[in-house]
Amino acid sequence: MKKIIVLIAIFYAVNNSYIAAQRIFTLQSDSIRRSYLVNVPKDKTDHLPLIIILHDNYIRPLALDNLPWHRLRQPAVILLPIGLLHRWYCSSSGDSVRADQDQKFLRQVILQTQHTFNTDPSSVFIIGMGEAHCVAEEFVKRYPGIVRAVTRWNYRKEQMRNQYITSGSVHTLDSIIQRNPPQAASTIPVSTAPPANKHPKLYKQHVSLGITLGRWQQAERSRTEFDDETFIDIAKHHFIFGFTIDYNFTEKISTYADVHCILIPKEKTIHSITIGPGGVQASGSGHGGIVIPYAAGIRYAFLFGSLRPFITAAAGYTYIHVEGGTGSGSSQGGIKKDIVRKIENIFTYHIGTGVDYRFSPGTSLRFSASYTLSNKIDPPAGSINYYQGASILAGLAFILAK
């Protein structure tokens, strides 16, 4: 029994000394208790540079803490924040909530470490390992002035799997300090919030509005004989414009509704004019109409920074209203009209693809292409028996209120 008590005492003594050497701290951030490690030089002096290292999925902060940091030519305080579930999230990862939490935690832990260890506020550096580098880049954009420089730490992943990093890697970190000498602290203001006009808005839980115009091309096989009742061939009209409203559930998934329009201008043609005993006699024809496709569907986006390629699937209806006819009359006998009006509302479904390019915090260029199929139009209207074909559109998308 005494041996067991002795072993337990030794275990706790060793474990506590290990934790104390590593300086593990915790704080509350967004109602979540989060941890971080701080490695301080043995002969600690005030006003040292602060180096923040963001781990990735291949190596943990505890392993990084065991590197020979004392070999740095320029002594520095090493801060090792721990990501949730050992992972860091960027806004481009699709989880904007986690990304926002990570940015707030990173700022909080930097300010806390600066206060606790009295580090040099003008010499703060972030090193992102692997995929964590995007977190560092977003932090600099969101909180300008806190960080002096950001860099990526590239390494061989097979070494990480063996939990081994060469001590020479430590010396490579000296270069970031040498390339970026400290400035006066007064010239680097600490920002408490992202600039309103520079930080990109998130799509998640926001409504966005798209305005597009382009070309519609009716499929050749959907055309029938010329409609000699309305004198309209819808396939000859290509200009299309419309609006799209999206609700974004996440950064990747949204539902949308769109309405587009093809205008068929009113045209009148005079076929003959004669002068006789009955006065002036004339005959002619005219036509006009409108095609309105409207649908609702799902959009799935792939996140690549400012580029957001996407695919879509939708279903809806297409309203077709065409009319045309002939007329004849004289200056003394009045006018006789023979007008034919055809109205159809047919079921349609669409598949498409495209890309959004974000060029400002809340505005994107949108390019898309889609193909439309429909039920049969019977009898035909506007010289078509199916509303089938492809559209190519370009326009702008705006992120609106939450």
DSSP, residue by residue, 205-258: T-EEEEEEEEEEEE-GGGB-S-BTTTTB-GGG--EEEEEEEEEESSSSEEEEEE
Residue whose pair of structure tokens reads 């000699």 in the numeric block: 228
The pLDDT tens digits for 215-254 are: 999 999 999 988 888 888 999 999 999 999 999 998 889 9
pLDDT tens profile 128-141 = 887 788 898 899 88
- The larger pLDDT score, comparing residue 26 to residue 330, is at 26
d(CA 91, CA 134) in angstroms, rounded, equals 9
Q: How confident is the model at residue 397 (pLDDT cuts 50, 70, 90)?
A: very high
Residue 62: what pLDDT?
A: 78
Between 9 and 267, residue with greater pLDDT: 267
pLDDT band at 107; cut points 50, 70, 90: very high
3-29 pLDDT, tens digit per residue, is 433 333 333 333 333 333 447 888 888
| Residue 40 scores a pLDDT above 50 | yes
Phi and psi at residue 355, to the nearest 5°: -150, 140
pLDDT top residue among 162 and 359: 359
Across all residues in the chain, what is the average pLDDT?
80
User: Domain 207-267+279-399 falls in which CATH fold?
Assistant: Porin (2.40.160)
Q: How confident is the model at residue 1 (pLDDT cuts 50, 70, 90)?
A: very low
Q: Comparing 19-187 with 207-267+279-399, is the CATH topology the same?
A: no
Let me know: does 54 contact 81? Beta carbons within 8 Å.
yes
Which conformational region is residue 229 in: left (phi greater than 0), alpha (psi within -120 to 50 degrees), or beta? alpha
pLDDT for 353: 97
**Percent of the chain predicted with pLDDT > 70:** 81
Element (H, E) at 307: strand 307-330
Where along the chain do its domains lie? 19-187, 207-267+279-399
What confidence tens digit (pLDDT) does each residue in 121-131 have?
A: 888 989 888 77
Highest mean pLDDT among 60-64, 141-145, 152-156, 289-293: 289-293
Confidence of residue 2 (pLDDT cuts 50, 70, 90): very low
Structural class in CATH, domain 19-187: alpha beta
Strands 50-54 and 77-81: parallel
Percent of the chain with pLDDT over 90: 33
| pLDDT-wise least confident of 83-92, 164-173, 214-223, 272-281 | 164-173
User: What is the DSSP annotation of 14-71?
Assistant: HHHHHHHHHTEEEEEETTEEEEEEEE--SS--SS--EEEEE--TTS-HHHHHTS-GGG
- Cβ atoms 110, 146 nearer than 8 A: yes
The Cα–Cα gap between 45 and 22 comes to: 18
Among the listed residues 211, 210, 320, the one whose alpha carbon sits nearest the alpha carbon of residue 254 = 210
**Chain centroid to CA 20:** 43
What is the pLDDT confidence band of residue 157, given thresholds at 50, 70 and 90? low
* Positive or negative: CA dihedral 192, 198, 201, 207: positive
Phi, psi of 221 (to 5 degrees): -75, -10
* Report for 198-212, 220-234, 373-387: range of highest mean pLDDT: 373-387
Per-residue pLDDT at 47: 85
Q: Give the whole-angstrom CA distance, residue 285 versus residue 258.
A: 34
Task: Please give the pLDDT value at position 180.
Answer: 54
pLDDT above 90 for 376: yes
Q: Are strands 124-129 and 149-153 parallel, antiparallel or unpaired?
A: parallel
